[in-house]
Amino acid sequence: MTPGLLLLFDLLLPAVLLWLAWRSLTSSDLFRAVILFIAFSLLLALAWVRMEAPDVALAEAAIGAGVTGALLLVALARIESAAGRRLSPSARWRSAALVLTGTALLAAAAGLLWSLRLLPTMPGGLGPLVDRHLAESGVDHPVTAVLLNFRGYDTLLEVGVLLLAAIAIWCLDEAVPFLQQPLESQLLTGFNRMMLPILLLSSGYLLWLGSHAPGGAFQAASLLAAGMLLALFSGASLPAQWSGLPLRLLLVLGFFAFLAAAIIGPLTGRALLHYPPAWEKPLILLVEWLLTLSIALILTAAVIGGRPTGSRLYPPPSSPSAEGRRQ
């Protein structure tokens, strides 16, 4: 593209993003709002590509648009079937408070935007430092090196947050089947037969790519999760004998492996997450593979939205009024 066209693109893209966000927030129909949000996320992925952040673009498209979109759509259907489509009227005190909020936010916008002039014109950043130590990290792709080695501690805790989300969701409710009966559509079955191997393959490819190019465990996991969800939508289900301990084991496997790799360091007189020399590569690879599997299952469990039914360990919650009294 010529510089002129590129400049036009750089002005147009943020403008369209802002417009989509605004429309998504204000659209009176919630289904429409969610669709607009998914469009917003996809366009955001384009912006990340433009800003030379291909890893983030992949994650945004797969997790921001894909998984979050699926989560929102499924939740919307469930909320509306339980609470109805009627939007609650906003209370009257709100209008005054809202004007106040709006004014405060406008003032904040002015202050923040004005302060941006103080951003250094020639910032340092950590890019050169990452490059210098890349050879010692066990991977060849800078973003993966930061995620799994230099700032691996962040990633360890972040996977902990994901696992925590799955536990919290299981604690809240039981899973309700998506469909009373599996869809017996020829089209869907044919589509699935085609899509599932493609998703599986591309997930493996992304994971493999992550060690030296944009890609990695999180992006691969969301593709894998998409495959699992497709299978679920067309009526597949986990065998009942798998929904107990085996499923829980698979959910925690990635996190547990990461944790085990992390404590090799302190047990051998090194720092936490300091892998023994020459072991970095195989350890990181192993952790990544197991993480992909567990994260895919956690994301799938999040969309299903509840603990597996029929487990003897976790009986269904009794009626809310009875619980209220016990409290």
Partner 1 sequence: MSVSLVYTAAGIILFLLGTYGLVAYAHLLRKILAANIMGSGVFMVFIAVAGRTPGAPDPVPHAMVLTGIVVTVAFTSVALALAVRIARTSNRAHLPGRDEEQR
Partner 2 sequence: MNAVLLTHPWSIWTIIVPLAAAVLAFLVPRRAPLAGIITALSVALFVAATAYRIFLAGPHIQLLGGWQAPLGITLRVDGPALIMLLTSGLVGLTVSFYAAGYFTAADRQERRQQHYFWPLWLLLWAGCNALFLSGDLFNLYVTLELVTLSSIALAALNGSSAALDGAMRYLMAGLLGSLSYLLGVALIYGAYGTVDLTLLGQTVRADGLSRAALALMTAGLLLKTALFPLHFWLPPAHASAPPPVSALLSGLVVKAPLLILFRLWFEVFPDTATAGMAHLLGILGCGAIIWGSLMALRQQRLKLLVAYSTVAQIGYFFLLFPLARGEAAATAWVGVFLLVLAHGCSKASMFLVCGTITRLAGHDRLTGLAGAGGTLGARLLVFALAAVTLVGMPPSSGFIAKWLLINAAIVTGQWWYLATIALGTLLASGYVIRVLSLAFTESQSPPLPIAPRILRWPPLALAVVALLLGLAAFHPAVLTLAGAPVSGIILLEMVP
Q: Which stretch binds partner 2 (CB under 8 A): 80-88, 144-152, 206-214, 222-230?
A: 144-152
Going from the C-alpha of 3 to that of each of 7, 9, 13, 14, the distances in angstroms are 6, 10, 15, 17
H or E segment to which residue 47 belongs: helix 30-50
Choose from partner 1, partner 2, none: what does 297 bind? Cβ within 5-8 Å by kind. Answer: none
Which of residues 248, 281, 286, 306 is near partner 2 by CB under 8 A?
Answer: 248
Which of residues 126, 179, 183, 198 is near partner 2 by CB under 8 A?
Answer: 126
Whether the CB-CB separation of 256 and 96 falls below 8 Å is answered with no
Choose from partner 1, partner 2, none: what does 53 bind? Cβ within 5-8 Å by kind. Answer: partner 1
Whether the CB-CB separation of 288 and 210 falls below 8 Å is answered with yes
Shorter beta-carbon distance to partner 2: residue 83 or 271? 271
Residue with tokens 């994260």: 295
Which of residues 88, 120, 121, 135 is near partner 2 by CB under 8 A?
Answer: 120
Closest contact distance (angstroms) between CB of 308 and partner 1 is 14
DSSP secondary structure of 175-244: ---S-SS----HHHHHHHHHHHHHHHHHHHHHHHHTTTSS--HHHHHHHHHHHHHHHHHTT----GGGTT
Choose from partner 2, partner 1, none: what does 29 bind? Cβ within 5-8 Å by kind. Answer: none
Choose from partner 2, partner 1, none: what does 111 bind? Cβ within 5-8 Å by kind. Answer: partner 2
Q: Is 266 in the site for partner 2 (CB under 8 A)?
A: yes
| Eight-class DSSP state of 275 | P
Give how many residues touch partner 2 by CB under 8 A.
62
Closest contact distance (angstroms) between CB of 78 and partner 2 is 15
| Eight-class DSSP state of 251 | H
Which of residues 263, 279, 282, 310 is near partner 2 by CB under 8 A?
Answer: 263
Handedness of CA 120, 126, 132, 135 (dihedral sign): negative
